[in-house]
Each structure stands twice: as C-alpha cells, then as structure tokens.
Amino acid sequence: MSSLFLTILLTVLGPIFATSTGDLDAVVVVFRHGDRTPIKPYPTDPYGNRSYWSADWGMLTNLGKLRHYHLGQWFRQRYSDFLPRIYSEKDIYVRSTDVDRTLMSAESNLAGLFPPVDTDVWLGGFPWQPIPIHSIPETMDAVLAAKKPCQRYDNLMRKLFETPYFRNISHINHDLYAYLSRYSGSTVTNLKQLEYLYNTLKIEVMNNFTIPEWARKVFPDKMKPWAELSFATMTFTDELKKLKTGPFFNDLLKYFNNRTLTNKTSQYYSPKFLMFSAHDTTIANLLNTMGAFEYHCPPYTATIIFELRKTPSGGNFVNVFYKNSSEPAPVRVKGCEFDCEWENFKRILGFYALPLDKWDLECSNYLILAVDSLNFFILLGAVSGAVMAVTGVVLLTKRRSRRSEMYSQLPDEEYA
C-alpha cells in the first residue's frame, strides 16, 4: 500500500478508529428482557389456555434465555480488553427490576458474560457461577422500573391525553378501538390498551400460532403505528421526561462524573461496568429523553450502551449506541455530536436529571399539584356556581308563588 494512500485512508477513517479504540473508562448497558409469553391472554384468545405455552404467563421462554446468553457473549467479546474474565464485584454491578423475566434475563446474560474460568470454577463441568443481581420492589423504584407512585406525573399524563392532538387520535381510532373491543372481548379505548393487544398478537405470531381472521385484518399494519406511538407517550413532554427518567439520568451522570475524577479514591465502590435489566418501556423512555427515539416497539434484548471514553489530552467524551439487531447503531443525543464531550453530555441530560429527594418533592408538592389541578377547580367552581344559581331561581320562584297566594294586587297598584 502506497504511503499516500495510507495517509488518505487514515485521514478519512482516523476519527472512526479513534472512537472505536479510544481509552474506555466506564460502560453502562440497559437492556430489555428476552422473549416472554403473553402477560395475559385476551378473552377470546384461541391460545388462552396455559397448555399452549412452555412457560407461565409473562415469563421468560427458553428462546428468551438463549437470546440473553448470546448477548452476554457479545458483551464478553466487545469488552474483552476492558472487563476481566475473572468475576469481581469491583468490576461490575448488576441491577434489575423486581420482575421474574428481567431477573432471569440478567442471570442468562451473566452466564454468557462471565462463564467461570480459573479460580471461578467451583464445580467441574458446570459452566456457570452465581453473580449478585440487585433489585427493589417496583413500587419503591423510581430509577429503573420507574413505577414508584407519582401523583404529579399521573396528573400530567391525564392532561396530555386531553390535548387536541390526542383527542384527535382517539377520534381517528374510534372505529378501530370498537372493532378490537368487539372481537377480542377486551376493552380497547386508548393507545396503551391497543399496544397491549398488539403485543399479545405479535408474540403469538412469533411462536408460529395462526391468529384469528379478524386479527389478520388489522394486525400488524393498522395497529403497528399506534402501538409504536404508545411508547412515546410516557415521555412526550419535558416534564414527563424529568419525572419518568430523571432519577436514572441523575444516577448515570453522577456515576460518570465520579469516573472522570482524577483522584479515584472511591474507585473500589465505583465498578467500571453497570448492567441494568429492564423493559421495552425503559428503552423507549431513555431514548426519547435523549431525543433519539424513532417510533418503534423495542424488541427483546434491545440494548442502550453508554460508553465513557478518554481523549489523549485527558478529556472525556461519551458514545451512545442502540443495539436492536446484530450490530449496535450510533445514537446522537439531541444537541450533541456522536463523540459527545462530557461537559456537553452532562449539560444536556442534566436538564432532565432529578435526584430522588427532588423527585419525591416534585411528585408530592401540593402547590404544583394544585396548579396542575387548576382546570379542575375552575370547572368545579363553575358547576358549583351554576348549581347555586339554579337553586336561587327555584327558591325565588317558590317565594313569589307563596306571595301570589297571600296578596291580591289592587287595580291601580300596577302604576304605583
């Protein structure tokens, strides 16, 4: 190869090589669980009998376990020079939502990522080792499951679906909702309920079941775009983004910030690899907050990868990837380049980040809730006023009626 051609090649591909071979300092992966059975069959479901399925409702299937095992092997290959093959709690921390299918997915993934070697072998011929997976009840989890109760978030969601945009969507889908309700036997009146049914039908098709004729008329084409839109609704506005993903991004930024510190005296408590096992909604919410969600239903094992890297001059930048197929695709955080400088990354996502104490305050702040409920109180006041007015008219009419019974007007009194 001529030196001139080599120079040109390095000039063109240099930035790509720098990104892929830069000094990696920390990795955070967030993935959806593997394939599962339907959470609950619809009333007229021909496959609603448990005997059709290899696992109970909403549970991970053998294919789901295998997919995550292979994803763990992919992590091992990608980070072979970064993550030691010998397991240590100093290197990796794993957290899952408190759901069987996500816990089992994390276990399957770790089996592929850390097969026991050397001193990790504890039972000959058994290529698996126990690795801690941390979790808390969903109703207490505002970071990963994002299901800790938040009244303000619920109020904002209710107001969102009362906007002209979503009212029009309900109007457009009136006939589709009625059709799905009639033939499925379940109530379908909104995007979430449509997506729930769409997901069940999709699972049945993926398992080679023949869905009913009525379903084939609307699945997937007529249902798919609305199911995909459903995944964007939970973080449709900046306020919804903050309340739904703010605690996660607060922890992510705090973790990366600790990793950038020159004096890493607490590195023992700051592993280089964080793994989060979650759901399709988690993937959609995080992508949407970053301004990178292209409407779709995140597939099984869909994974967001955050990589914190160092520049030769000692600075830091972040790469984000989305892996929903064989190879990860670069993700551009809105307002930043792919090689997003750490300070810019921190500034952009810091807008949405919420520490748990502030999240709790915003969720329970009665002044904020009162502002959100202002329309309700205005309506209540208007109704109360109308009731009082009607009551007044009725009382006045009765009073005049009683007067007319006791008093007779004189002939010329009309002009008095």
The pLDDT tens digits for 137-191 are 999 999 999 999 999 999 999 999 999 999 999 999 999 999 999 999 999 999 9
Instruction: Centre a 10 Å sphere on the Cβ of residue 53 and count the other Cβ atoms it contains.
Output: 20
Do 186 and 43 form a contact (C-beta atoms < 8 A)?
A: yes
Query: Dihedral, CA atoms, 133, 363, 234, 96, nearest 10 degrees?
Result: 0
Judgement on whether residues 126 and 267 belong to the same structural domain of the protein: yes
Judgement on whether residues 25 and 131 belong to the same structural domain of the protein: yes
Domain total of the chain:
3
Nearest residue to 340 via CA among 269, 292, 271: 292
Judgement on whether residues 253 and 282 belong to the same structural domain of the protein: yes
412: in domain: no
**CATH no. for residue 328?**
3.40.50.1240
Q: Is residue 33 annotated as part of the catalytic site, yes or no? A: yes
Judgement on whether residues 314 and 387 belong to the same structural domain of the protein: no
Judgement on whether residues 225 and 243 belong to the same structural domain of the protein: no
Question: Pick the catalytic residue: 35, 45, 251, 280?
Answer: 280
33: in domain: yes
Judgement on whether residues 343 and 369 belong to the same structural domain of the protein: no
Confidence of residue 261 (pLDDT cuts 50, 70, 90): confident
Token pair, residue 214, equals 């009525």
Q: Is residue 68 annotated as part of the catalytic site, yes or no? A: no
Token pair, residue 309, equals 């890297």
Residue 79 has pLDDT above 70, yes or no: yes
257: in domain: yes
Residue 371's domain comprises 365-395
414: in domain: no
146: in domain: yes
Residue burial 393-409, b: 16+ Cβ < 10 Å; e: rest: eeeeeeeeeeeeeeeee
Please tell me the pTM assigned to this model.
0.84
Residue 74 has pLDDT above 80, yes or no: yes
Question: Pick the catalytic residue: 23, 33, 70, 412?
Answer: 33
Judgement on whether residues 126 and 251 belong to the same structural domain of the protein: yes
Question: Which residue carries 């009725």 as its tokens?
Answer: 394
More confident residue, 100 or 385: 100
Instruction: Centre a 10 Å sphere on the Cβ of residue 293 and count the other Cβ atoms it contains.
Output: 20
Judgement on whether residues 24 and 56 belong to the same structural domain of the protein: yes
d(CA 28, CA 253): 11
371: in domain: yes
108: in domain: yes
In sign, the C-alpha dihedral spanning 216, 218, 221, 227 is: negative
Residue 318 DSSP one-character state? E
34: in domain: yes
d(CA 342, CA 350): 11
Residue 41 has pLDDT above 80, yes or no: yes
d(CA 270, CA 264): 9
Judgement on whether residues 243 and 326 belong to the same structural domain of the protein: yes
Judgement on whether residues 87 and 133 belong to the same structural domain of the protein: yes
DSSP string, 188-231: --SHHHHHHHHHHHHHHHHTT----HHHHTTTTTTTHHHHHHHH
Average pLDDT (351-360) is 98
Picking from 193, 213, 231, the residue at the C-terminal end of a domain is 231
DSSP string, 32-65: E---B--SS--TT-TT-SGGG-SS-TTPBPHHHH
Judgement on whether residues 106 and 216 belong to the same structural domain of the protein: no
Judgement on whether residues 193 and 82 belong to the same structural domain of the protein: no
